[in-house]
Amino acid sequence: MSHPTYLLDRSRIEDSHTLKVAREKGAYAAFEAMLKAGQDPKDVTEVVKASGLRGRGGAGFPTGLKWSFMPDATKDDRPRYMAVNADESEPGTCKDRVLMREDPHGLLEGCLIAGYAMGLEAVYIYVRGEYRLPYKRMQDAIDEAREAGLIGEGILGTDFSLEIHMHQGAGAYICGEETGLMESLEGKRGHPRPKPPFPAGFGLWGMPTTVNNVESIFNVPFILERGASWFRGFGTEKSPGNFLCGISGHVAKPGVYEVPLGIPAREILEQYAGGVWKDRKLKGWFPGGSSTGIVPASVIDTPMDHDSIKGIGSMFGTGAMIMLDETACVVRASEVLARFYDHESCGQCSQCREGTQWLNQIFHRIENGAGTMADVELLESLSHGMTPGKTICALSDAAAIPTLAVIKHFRDEIVEHIEKGGCPFKASTGNAPAAAGTEVHA
Ligand SMILES: Cc1cc2nc3c(=O)[nH]c(=O)nc-3n(C[C@H](O)[C@H](O)[C@H](O)COP(=O)(O)O)c2cc1C
Ligand code: SF4
């Protein structure tokens, strides 16, 4: 049951957020060795590429490949940047919070290595507004690292310089979308930009920019220090490494657990999260955050990796599992999610602006006894108008995909609501255990 870990190892040590403890426990060792050896920056990117690390922010894009999209510095001398996406607003997702709160120097070391590899001038860490303690810990860590000569001009007496700045969001889900994030960082409304141009060519202030998730960057020092083949010893061939699984909902022990990619979802549920709470049965689950679409309990033995989860018609997303027990109402759950997406749509695209509002209204009326059979078809046709790839960003897909999934797997339950004139689950679930991510687990 117990799998080897590395991401959360330092987090379990007292005062791991301080420079003294973090350094004693290995922080900055990979960066210092790289700097001392005068490693070719291109080789650093090659190691990350060879590791097969895939982005942990949702899309699973290979991190090393993304870095290699930055223009050649000998041909393009514009300043270049990285934005670390710490907005973490996908419902169910709460892993980056743990990393920033418990091991901020680990993230800074990843930023320094990325800065060296891509020749960055500055890194901006964009933190979700509600994350007060992680923000403070990150800012304190930056101050300590700067004092120690690890950030700023001429780092550790070399000619390598890098600035790292914090930026606090203001509570908008859309600012986690990479181009919305950049607009927000520039001081504008967080309205996603049409792509192309892509951030590597035209990012922050029109300069070459890479956007990476916290957990993606956090993996980098381990890869550099221990090697690409060590990293490939974890997980699967196409999805290597460990990941932080935030599991929440109707489970006995919600939390953030470090597990290898490819682990069966059942093992996470039963061996780590203590199984479905109150000895109830599982009804359905979201594999990787609310945008990934619910799947039935029957596929709980599926391995948690990108290809396997795609194979059951969902997505790995952020690896945040949301579990619903047999007493939960999937229509009510869909209504709650539809309301969220309606509220968070930035309104630039008509399909998303109107579609999210309609989904919200229709789920609301089905749940409250005013739905008709035509509503099921309306939900389907609206969703098909919203996905795939029909809008500026993927928020529209994020609202439509769960809708299509709930109709596919739980149509009978929706129809039951309509036929019975309301929700058959009124004596519903009671409160779920404390919010996931409050604990750090092995
Ligand atoms: C609506 C929306 C919200 C998003 N929110 C986040 C987020 O909070 N954190 C994150 O890392 N990525 C988020 N993403 C994905 C980012 O756009 C981007 O793909 C990611 O930060 C890239 O990092 P990675 O390659 O390291 O995974 C979001 C995407 C969309 C469409
Ligand atoms: S899809 Fe929605 S959130 Fe994304 S840009 Fe269009 S309106 Fe805004």
Task: Tell me if 159 is assigned to some domain.
Answer: yes
pLDDT confidence of residue 1: 62
CA of 342 to the centre of ligand 2 (A): 10
Task: Tell me if 437 is assigned to some domain.
Answer: no
**Do the beta carbons of residue 66 and residue 80 sit within 8 Å?**
no
Q: What is the DSSP string of 289-310?
A: SGGG--EEGGGTTSBSSHHHHH
**Tens of pLDDT, residues 122-135:** 999 999 999 999 99
Protein residue with least CA distance to atom 20, ligand 1: 57
Task: Please name the helix (run of DSSP H) or strand (run of DSSP E) that holds residue 243, with its range, or none.
Answer: strand 242-249
Q: What is the dihedral of CA 310, 316, 321, 326, to 10 degrees?
A: -10
pLDDT confidence of residue 427: 55
What average pLDDT does this structure show over 376-399? 98
Burial of 179 (0-12, 13-18, 19+ CB in 10 A): buried
Tell me the C-alpha distance between 442 and 12, whole Å: 9
Listed residue (192, 196, 199, 183) closest to 393, CA to CA = 192
- The tokens of 252 are what? 């006995």
pLDDT confidence of residue 437: 41
Listed residue (215, 219, 316, 220) closest to 261, CA to CA = 316
DSSP bridge pairs for 109:
none
- Tell me, yes or no, whether 337 and 318 share the same domain: no
- Tell me, yes or no, whether 126 and 76 share the same domain: yes
Residue 224 CA, chain-centre distance (Å), reads: 22
Model confidence at 434, pLDDT cuts 50, 70, 90, reads very low
Residue numbers of the domain that contains 32: 10-231
**Tens of pLDDT, residues 207-235:** 999 999 999 999 999 999 999 999 999 99
CA of 56 to the centre of ligand 1 (A): 8
Type of residue at 163: E
**Tens of pLDDT, residues 77-110:** 999 999 999 999 999 999 999 999 999 999 999 9
Task: Tell me if 237 is assigned to some domain.
Answer: no
**Tens of pLDDT, residues 352-370:** 999 999 999 999 999 999 9
CA of 318 to the centre of ligand 1 (A): 9
Max alpha carbon distance in the chain (Å)? 74
What's the number of domains the chain is made of? 3
> Is the minimum distance from the CB of 308 to ligand 2 under 6 angstroms?
no
Task: Tell me if 136 is assigned to some domain.
Answer: yes
End-to-end CA distance of the chain: 11
pLDDT confidence of residue 2: 86
Task: Tell me if 344 is assigned to some domain.
Answer: yes
Tell me the C-alpha distance between 323 and 300, whole Å: 10
Average pLDDT, the chain: 95
Model confidence at 432, pLDDT cuts 50, 70, 90, reads very low
What is the phi/psi pair of residue 116, to 5°?
A: -70, -45
Give the mutation target among 178, 350, 396 for probing the ligand 2 site: most ligand atoms within 8 A of CB.
396
Q: What is the CATH classification number for the domain harbouring 170?
A: 3.40.50.11540
Q: Which residues contact ligand 1 via a Cβ below 6 A?
A: 55-59, 61, 63, 66, 85, 87-90, 173-174, 176-178, 211-213, 216, 393-395, 398
pTM: 0.96
